[in-house]
Amino acid sequence: MVTTADPGTGGSAPVRVRMTVAYNGTGYRGFWAVEGQRTVAGDLVEGLEKVLRHPIELTCAGRTDAGVHATGQVVSFDADPNRLDPERLQASLNGLLAPAIAVREVGVSDPDFDARFSARARWYRYRVRSAPVPDPLRAGLVWPVRHVLDGRAMNEAARQLVGEHDFTSFCRRPKPAPDGTERSLVRRVIAAQWGAADDEWHFEIGASAFCHQMVRSITGTLVDIGRGRLPADAVSGILAAQDRNQAGTIAPPQGLVLHRVDY
């Protein structure tokens, strides 16, 4: 959560608000608040507090990294019902936060709704442009790769990710829990598939949750397979190794989009 404060409802019970947010992550240090850095959450909280005129405690569905985009990020917070007009809030925020951030939907939700803990699945998309010449108009939105990619091999490899696995090989190791125990990196992948459109390859992956750099590490490894640098059956062995050094390239952030969140 971003700030900790009473919403100042003046005696009225606060209401839980749910918002769907899109943003271009270029120029941001990621979604979550980092002191001294510009973040998506920081701009959102600043805008919310300006419109609602009380402190905001924000929760998000997924903490995207620096340079990562979103079309379906979900956030939740408590608001003073006497100061909340969802349509006015959406219009005001879009005026304040454009062009980098757009609020797509605003509504009052159940009191126990939490953008993070109520989520059942997160879905990401990654765009790779396979062409010999860069496209300046897509700079910052795709990963430009000069090689011809083998989509059949990338999809064969992607299928090995589906199911419940320990993704240690594809994740940055988190700090231990307060009691000193290592945090589990077991995740359940629902689907993982590549599709082609003109000169782009689009990778979509959905999971119950993701760990830090998991999607970018998986994408980079699958692109290495598409380039012929690794065999198509390498993913199962990389998973089994539980060794970060066994994975391939980490894809750059600009091609990655948090597409939607299921509840």
Catalytic residues: 65
**Which of these, 50, 146, 46, 179, lies nearest to 101 by C-alpha position?**
46
CA–CA separation, 63 and 137 (whole Å): 27
* Alpha carbon distance 197, 213 (integer Å): 25
| Burial label, 23 (beta-carbon count in 10 A; 0-12, 13-18, 19+) | buried
